[in-house]
Amino acid sequence: MVSARLWLRTSMYTRAAVCARKTAACPASATLLSYASGNLPAEVAKGVREHLEVCDFCSAELPLLAHHNPASAVNGPPEMPMDLRILAESILSQYTKGTKKTT
């Protein structure tokens, strides 16, 4: 008879080995985002929900995608702070002129 602790440890390692990366069975990232926003048909949402119950990778990917949703950056990347932009342009201009000063 296998002890509960040994079974749990073995099943955790097996599950980690199986779900440590995205597989062909995993839904696409766009599907996960649609699931998070409630924009999937009921049958598809049910399949994603069932997959999330057994896949640690997708379960971890979902909140990450929801937090860093690329669709929220519709107008491109965020604006660079002006002081950082001035510093970067100053440093780059020194390189382009070939007059990089060492400090």
**What pLDDT digit, counting tens, does each position of 22-70 carry?**
888 899 988 998 898 899 999 999 999 999 999 988 999 998 888 776 5
Q: CB–CB of 26/35 below 8 Å?
A: no
For the chain, what percent of residues have pLDDT higher than 90?
Answer: 19
Q: Mind giving me the DSSP string for the chain?
A: ---HHHHHHHHHHHHHHHHSS--TTSPPHHHHHHHHTT-S-HHHHHHHHHHHHH-HHHHHHHHHHHHT-GGG-TT-SPPPPHHHHHHHHHHHHHHHHT-PPP-
Q: Identify the band that residue 90 occupies on the pLDDT scale cut at 50, 70 and 90.
A: confident
Tokens for 78, please give them.
Answer: 């965020």
| pLDDT in the model for residue 12 | 44
The whole-model pTM stands at: 0.51
- CA dist 102 and 19 (Å) reads 49
Residue 91 has pLDDT above 50, yes or no: yes
| pLDDT in the model for residue 99 | 55
